Amino acid sequence: MQETYARLLGLSESAFAAVRNWQAFLFTSARNVTLDRIRKSRVVSYDALAEIETLHVLDQQPSADEALNARQELALLAEAIASLPDRCREVLTLRKLYGLPQREIALRLGISESTVEKHVAYGVRLCAEQMFAQRSGQGTRLDGAPTTRRKGLFDERK
């Protein structure tokens, strides 16, 4: 609006006298100012390109509290993995940390692929339950059941 008003004030006397319809002139001037701004916004000046290197870039590093939180969660996960039965921990580590395919794990450990799947599922579930219980300070799982380890297929026989 200010640019349109400035253009009206900058009219010469002959141009001022030539205007027959002020409303149409005002709207046409405003439209032209808008079009000029659009055209100029598409052009990047060389000065702006030269100043890009001097601009401060956002720091992508995590804040101190985010880094501390990540370390604490990693410690919780390590503790949860360490508490798994030996074979389950071994399978889960090979699958999730080293990214080995199920078939290779099965061949390496001399077990079936189905057993590998079961060990991974069981290990992930136990780790999630333990981390949730420790983080929330409660002894319950997400579904409200108490966090107790069931004896069964994956418990080590001693």
Mean pLDDT (whole number) for 48-71: 71
**Residue with token string 């995590």:** 62
Task: Express as a percent the part of the chain with pLDDT over 90.
Answer: 33
Least confident window among 2-6, 8-12, 38-42, 93-97 = 38-42
The dihedral sign for the CA sequence 98, 103, 105, 108: negative
pTM of the predicted model as reported, rounded to 2 decimal places = 0.49
Mean pLDDT (whole number) for 131-157: 55
- Whether 100 has a pLDDT exceeding 90, the answer reads yes
Instruction: State residue 80's pLDDT score.
Output: 92
What are 146's strand-pairing partners? 140
